[in-house]
């Protein structure tokens, strides 16, 4: 029975939320698409709204169009790439034969994303390639690689920490706190800390290497070095929530399963692969997807620590959108970048919703 009173109170209760929800979430979301079809100079439009010029798909064309891109197989024949590929494939084969992959959708997704991120490296421009915007592609690739490493470093390290500290006792609470307190640091504070840590002169890394008689490693000049700093900062910072989620999941695995396995004489690693890991498979997938989604939007660390440099090595997609909109004053172009990023993230969000609907 839906009574008038229920209708009245129901709408009174949700009205404030709905108003804010529509005006500051759904409306801007629609307007994001709208702006992306315009040449929308921030100054000109501020003076007179009619200065926004409809350009159709031109903003998208500018980002995506070009010629001379192809799949360059030769980049995969460096030692590091070959080792990476072998390790991935051997472990995939090992997991497959040991039936560890079975029912563990989290691990399956890990291998899927790892291969995608690996083969994205092969998309290269030829010598006579012509691009309207050659940085956009780079930023997609950078973000994807940094996203992959951050997300799965966080997932695996958090899992290790959660298993290691999943004991009762006051001292373990203190240890856990040491691990996850870093999550309370704000992104600007984090960036300042990390710049100090990895500073070529006077950073903690250079102090240590000088102490042991090595040369300083110039993290912020080296392309992979600065990517490493951004990934390290992200992992150090974002790990607290995954640790908590894994701890909660670990504590829900029934104790009887462990006892039964021990009676059957299972080794420690067997217990891990066949009881612990399947027991938290769903949480594993959830944590990795949450991290993947959130680090595709990585902005603050890259903006404050490296400003996207050196040579666009840490230029992320959100940083591109921000630079287009507020440095070049082209809101339309920035909005187009955001829309494309929305579709990339949408893919992962879709998987997340799908797997969790099925589970219910």
Partner 1 sequence: MSKRFPITFIVVLIAAIIWSIPFWWILSLSFQPNDILQKTTSNTALGFIPYPFTIENYYLLWGQSFFGWFINSAIVAVTMTLLSTILCSLSGYAFARIDFVGKKIIYPIVLAGLMVPGELLFIPLFTQFSNLGLNNSYAGLILPRLAVPFGVFIMTQYYKGVPKEVEEAAIIDGANRFQIWYKIMVPLSIPAMITVAIVTFGFAWNDYLWPLISLSAQDMRTLQVGIALQIGARIQEYMGTSLAGVIVSSIPTIILLIYFQKYLLRGFAIGTK
The runs of H, that is alpha helices, within the chain are 4-21, 27-35, 42-47, 58-64, 79-97, 105-120, 134-164, 170-180, 187-198, 204-211, 223-238, 240-250, 255-263, 268-271, 277-279, 281-296, 300-301, 317-326, 331-359
DSSP string, 9-59: HHHHHHHHHHHHHIIIIIHHHHHHHHHTTEE-BHHHHHH-GGG-EE-TTHH
| Backbone Cα Rg of the chain | 24
- CB of residue 144 vs partner 1: minimum separation in angstroms? 16
**Shortest separation between residue 125's beta carbon and partner 1, angstroms:** 27
> By the 8 A CB rule, do 321 and 338 touch?
yes
Q: With respect to partner 1, which residue has the nearer C-beta, 137 or 179?
A: 179
Q: Which is nearer to partner 1, 31 or 98 (CB)?
A: 31
Residue environment code for 44-70, b if the CB has 16+ CB neighbours within 10 A, otherwise e: ebeeeeeebeebeebbbebbeebeeee
Q: How far apart are CA 239 and CA 341, in angstroms?
A: 24
Nearer to partner 1 (CB atom), residue 6 or residue 99: 6
**Least distance from partner 1 to the Cβ atom of residue 138, Å:** 20
Return the HEC string of 220-258: CCCHHHHHHHHHHHHHHHHCHHHHHHHHHHHCCCCHHHH
How near is the Cβ of 267 to partner 1 at its closest, in Å? 14
Cβ proximity to partner 1, 47 vs 80, nearer residue: 47
Nearest distance, CB of residue 242 and partner 1, angstroms: 10
CB of 4 to partner 1, least distance (A): 10
Smallest gap, in angstroms, from Cβ of residue 148 to partner 1? 18
Nearest distance in Å: CB 277, partner 1: 18
53 or 195: whose CB is closer to partner 1? 195
Conformational region of residue 120, where left means phi above 0, alpha means psi within -120 to 50, and beta covers everything else: alpha
Rounded least distance, CB 89 to partner 1, Å: 30
Among all chains, which residue has been given the structure tokens 């706190």?
Answer: 177
DSSP bridge partners of 39: 53
Nearer to partner 1, 178 or 260 (CB): 178
Closest to partner 1 by CB, 16 vs 79, is 16
With respect to partner 1, which residue has the nearer C-beta, 95 or 324? 324
Of 68 and 254, nearer to partner 1 (C-beta) is 254
Structure token digits, residue 273: 């692969």
Question: Strand ranges (DSSP E) for 99-207?
Answer: 123-131
3-class DSSP state of 280: coil
């Amino acid at each position: 029975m839906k009574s008038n009173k229920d209708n009245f109170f129901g709408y009174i209760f949700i009205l404030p939320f709905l108003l804010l929800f529509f005006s500051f979430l759904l409306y801007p979301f629609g307007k994001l698409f709208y702006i992306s079809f315009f040449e929308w100079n921030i100054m000109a439009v501020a003076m007179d709204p009619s200065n926004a010029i409809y350009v159709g798909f031109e903003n998208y064309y500018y980002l995506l169009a070009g010629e001379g891109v192809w799949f360059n197989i030769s980049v995969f024949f460096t030692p590091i790439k070959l080792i990476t590929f072998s390790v991935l494939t051997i472990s995939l084969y090992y997991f497959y034969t040991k039936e560890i992959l079975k029912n563990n959708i989290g691990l399956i997704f890990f291998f899927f994303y790892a291969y995608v991120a690996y083969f994205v490296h092969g998309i290269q421009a030829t010598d006579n390639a012509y691009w309207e915007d050659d940085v956009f592609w780079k930023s997609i690739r950078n973000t994807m690689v940094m996203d992959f490493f951050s997300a799965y470093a966080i997932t695996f390290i958090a899992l290790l920490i959660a298993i290691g500290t999943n004991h009762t006792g006051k001292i373990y609470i203190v240890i856990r706190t040491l691990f996850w307190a870093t999550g309370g640091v704000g992104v600007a504070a984090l960036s300042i800390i990390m710049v100090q840590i990895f500073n070529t002169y006077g950073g903690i890394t250079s102090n240590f290497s000088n102490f042991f008689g090595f040369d300083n490693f110039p993290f912020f000049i080296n392309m992979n070095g600065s990517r490493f700093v951004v990934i390290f900062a992200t992992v150090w910072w974002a790990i607290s929530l995954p640790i908590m989620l894994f701890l909660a999941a670990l504590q829900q695995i029934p104790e009887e399963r462990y006892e039964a396995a021990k009676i059957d004489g299972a080794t420690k690693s067997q217990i891990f692969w066949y009881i612990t890991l399947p027991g938290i498979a769903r949480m594993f997938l959830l944590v990795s997807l949450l991290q993947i989604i959130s680090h595709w939007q990585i902005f603050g660390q890259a903006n404050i620590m490296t400003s996207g440099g050196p040579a666009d090595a840490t230029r992320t997609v959100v940083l591109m959108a921000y630079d287009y909109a507020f440095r070049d004053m082209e809101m339309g172009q920035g909005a187009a970048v955001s829309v494309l990023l929305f579709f990339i993230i949408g893919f992962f969000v879709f998987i997340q919703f799908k797997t969790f609907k099925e589970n219910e």
